[in-house]
A and B are shown apart, each in its own frame.
Chain A
Amino acid sequence: MRIDIDSYREIIDTLTRNKSRSFLTGFGVFWGVFMLVALMGGGQGMKEMLYNNFEGFAQNTVLMGASETTKPYKGFKKGRSWYMDYKDVERLKQQVPELDAVAPVLMGRGSTAYYGDQKTTPRIQGTLPEMTKIETPKMYYGRYINDMDVREQRKVCVIGKKIYKELFKEGGDPCGKKIRVDSTYYEVVGVDYRSGGISLGGRAEERITMPLTLMQAAYNRGNSVDMIAAVGRPGVLMSKITDRMRETVARAHYIDPTDEQGVGMFNTELMFQMISNVFKGVNILIWLVGLGTLLAGAIGVSNIMMVTVKERTTEIGIRRAIGATPKMILSQIISESIVLTLVAGMSGILFAVMILQMLEMANTEDGIIQTHFQVGFWTAIFCAVVVSTLGVLAGLAPAARAMSIKPVDAMRDE
């Protein structure tokens, strides 16, 4: 059809002639697109919110811990308690080359930290610099513990965000300041702002981290470690090497290598896989529901257009009698359908984007967006394309009916 202002005016005219009907019809499409976009954004936001909890935590981590044996082995009765020690770290590194990093953790209990007249109750943790490969710290001030600290048993510590806020009420860089934990003074070398949900031995925010060797000495823990965290090299499937890790540690401590409870192991890979599968399912559901609603809306448009065409039989007949070709009638009806669905669909996208933007703004902390609810630009474009395609499809049947109207019908319909 030629470009002519009147072509567009005609479409607008016919759509606005029956405002409430056009509105209600368009609402179906509006709601469909809104649902699709809002659900997509919402689902993505939920996923991100959940993953925020695991932020900075390597997803292919295996945690090992010692508990009472459940199988007798080499003359030892079952029910024996045992402890892992630092040598196990070396053994694992040597015998399981697939491991990228092995970090032992020693955990204190019931400590109190002081700075000036402020005090707080942190969780104490001793570890090695390799820990950063498992839990990535977010250093706000200073640095993490390094190899020199460990070797020289320096009295240094890294404090969590909450500890920092409670001890240093006036703010500022605390590095170089000395805090007292229980009976020993430590120099603060860094502040870790990590606040993810998953972390070893309590929330990262309320933790004080010190070199493993220092903690062993300060708290009389000898050479023992409470937990060993190990992360595999890229591409290594952790579930394939857990058995070898267990054997390595078990053999050194005269424990049955098949004793799965004596040498407790927790593979985070499985957990992450499950969560990721759940969200895959949720995503499929979202598309199903969203597209389904949208389709229902489009069918509604098609239906109403059908009625409209029937109503306008006379008018279309007149147009045909005075020289409109079937193609002109076809393009008119399809254009009406497209305009209706497009206007409704665009407002649906707009509305959904607005809601998502509000959600995102509500989830902003210190000007940093915590969770991204907003859908991507190309997703929105894709939705717009889907909507316009549906508009064309919805217009096809009514347009075909309009085309079949013969000019004679105009006169017969008196």
Chain B
Amino acid sequence: MIHLKDINKTYQGAQPLHVLKGISLDIEKGEFVSIMGASGSGKSTLLNILGILDNYDSGSYELAGTPIWNLSERKAAEYRNKMIGFIFQSFNLISFKTAVENVELPLFYQGVSRKKRHQMAMEYLDKLGLADWAEHYPNELSGGQKQRVAIARALITRPQIILADEPTGALDSKTSVEVMQLLKKLNQEDGMTIVVVTHESGVANETNKIVHIKDGIIGQIEENLNHDASPFGINGMMK
């Protein structure tokens, strides 16, 4: 699904910052992967590149068989819209739109008819148990609810891959567990490919594969099939 080969990225500035120093990574369809690292390790940059939000300087990146290199803004927007679902740490819902309108937005940009996208958005909200909250604005929702709305928005375009950037960063431990369970369920039941970027080992522990990144280099990739390997085991507290 994702093939990264020798990705390099340098932020130009007064003092050029070499953030990614030759990242090679393969993520197959249906995998549930976390990218772990301390802040400044380059994991967010990597996620931005994976999400076609940022360019890389050298190397190659192939997403679902499509080479991602030097795309026009229009093409990039189209790929983001169709292939990738984003989940952000700060939810990034649009505050003056209701939950259902937020979920509809990606379809609006796809040009889906008004009626159809409303119906689909309601379907996804229902799936995440938020049907009753459809007409509420983000500031009337709890953190967990907001993140679930964001997940519904990420799912509605039926993307190839879900990219989650610190999805539990702004949540308390209880809702963090709920959100991770939700992602896990999506992975297991729908076979969704999910990449989570985090610095919390508890969150990483919920995933099946943990990619450790440090100073722009992939350190170690561990298979994590039994989720009680860490002190924050199953049903445990993540924080």
Nearest residue in B to A316 (C-beta to C-beta)?
B94
Q: How far is the CB of B155 from chain A (nearest CB, A)?
A: 12
Q: How far is the CB of A24 from chain B (nearest CB, A)?
A: 20
CA distance A327 to B77 in the complex (A): 10
Residue B209 is within 8 A (CB to CB) of chain A in the complex: no
Q: Give 1 or 0 for each of A12-46: 1 = CB within 8 Å of chain B CB.
A: 01100100000000000000000000000000000
CA distance A411 to B90 in the complex (A): 8
**Complex contacts, B86 vs chain A, CB 8 Å:** 321-322
> Is A326 a contact of B74 with CB atoms below 8 Å?
yes
B73's contact among A13, A322, A326, A414, by CB below 8 Å, is which? A326
**Complex contacts, B53 vs chain A, CB 8 Å:** 321, 406-408, 411
> Is B54 a contact of A408 with CB atoms below 8 Å?
yes
Interfacial residues of chain B within 37-92, with CB under 8 A of chain A in the complex: 44, 48, 51, 53-54, 73-74, 77-78, 80-82, 86, 88-90, 92
Q: Name the segment of B19-27, B104-112, B226-234 touching the other chain.
A: B104-112
> Is A6 a contact of B90 with CB atoms below 8 Å?
no
**Complex contacts, A327 vs chain B, CB 8 Å:** 74
Residue B212 is within 8 A (CB to CB) of chain A in the complex: no
CA distance A14 to B81 in the complex (A): 23
**Complex contacts, B51 vs chain A, CB 8 Å:** 321
> Is A323 a contact of B81 with CB atoms below 8 Å?
yes
B92's contact among A13, A14, A410, by CB below 8 Å, is which? A410
**Complex contacts, A326 vs chain B, CB 8 Å:** 73-74, 77
Q: How far is the CB of A325 from chain B (nearest CB, A)?
A: 4
> Is A323 a contact of B109 with CB atoms below 8 Å?
yes
Residue A324 is within 8 A (CB to CB) of chain B in the complex: yes
Q: How far is the CB of B158 from chain A (nearest CB, A)?
A: 13
Residue B165 is within 8 A (CB to CB) of chain A in the complex: yes
> Is A322 a contact of B96 with CB atoms below 8 Å?
no
Residue A148 is within 8 A (CB to CB) of chain B in the complex: no
> Is A323 a contact of B89 with CB atoms below 8 Å?
no
Residue A195 is within 8 A (CB to CB) of chain B in the complex: no
Residue B114 is within 8 A (CB to CB) of chain A in the complex: yes
Q: A314-B92, A411-B92 are in contact. Are A325 and B108 (CB under 8 A)?
A: no
Residue A241 is within 8 A (CB to CB) of chain B in the complex: no
Residue A74 is within 8 A (CB to CB) of chain B in the complex: no
A414's contact among B89, B96, B108, by CB below 8 Å, is which? B89
Residue A175 is within 8 A (CB to CB) of chain B in the complex: no
> Is A325 a contact of B165 with CB atoms below 8 Å?
no
From A14, A319, A327, A406, residue with most partner B Cβ within 10 Å: A319
CA distance A39 to B48 in the complex (A): 57
Q: How far is the CB of A274 from chain B (nearest CB, A)?
A: 61
> Is B114 a contact of A325 with CB atoms below 8 Å?
no
Residue B153 is within 8 A (CB to CB) of chain A in the complex: yes
Residue A368 is within 8 A (CB to CB) of chain B in the complex: no
**Complex contacts, B77 vs chain A, CB 8 Å:** 320, 323-326
**Complex contacts, A320 vs chain B, CB 8 Å:** 77
Q: How far is the CB of B124 from chain A (nearest CB, A)?
A: 14
**Complex contacts, B54 vs chain A, CB 8 Å:** 406, 408
**Complex contacts, A6 vs chain B, CB 8 Å:** 108, 114
Q: How far is the CB of B20 from chain A (nearest CB, A)?
A: 15
CA distance A410 to B91 in the complex (A): 11
**Complex contacts, A14 vs chain B, CB 8 Å:** 96
Nearest residue in B to A414 (C-beta to C-beta)?
B90
CA distance A321 to B73 in the complex (A): 11
Q: How far is the CB of A10 from chain B (nearest CB, A)?
A: 9
Nearest residue in B to A409 (C-beta to C-beta)?
B53
> Is A17 a contact of B106 with CB atoms below 8 Å?
no
**Complex contacts, B81 vs chain A, CB 8 Å:** 322-323
> Is B109 a contact of A321 with CB atoms below 8 Å?
no
Q: How far is the CB of B17 from chain A (nearest CB, A)?
A: 15
**Complex contacts, B109 vs chain A, CB 8 Å:** 319, 322-325, 328
Nearest residue in A to B90 (C-beta to C-beta)?
A414
Q: How far is the CB of A238 from chain B (nearest CB, A)?
A: 70
Which residues does A use to contact B, with CB under 8 Å? 2, 4-6, 13-14, 17, 314-315, 317-328, 406-408, 410-411, 414
Given contacts A319-B94, A323-B77, A323-B110, 14 further A-B contacts (CB under 8 A): A315-B95, A318-B92, A319-B109, A321-B86, A321-B92, A322-B86, A323-B82, A323-B109, A323-B157, A326-B77, A406-B53, A407-B80, A408-B53, A414-B90
26 pairs from A and B in contact (CB 8 Å cutoff): A2-B111, A4-B108, A6-B108, A13-B96, A318-B94, A319-B94, A320-B77, A321-B53, A321-B80, A321-B92, A322-B81, A322-B105, A323-B78, A323-B80, A323-B110, A323-B157, A325-B73, A325-B109, A326-B77, A407-B53, A408-B48, A408-B53, A411-B44, A411-B48, A411-B89, A411-B90
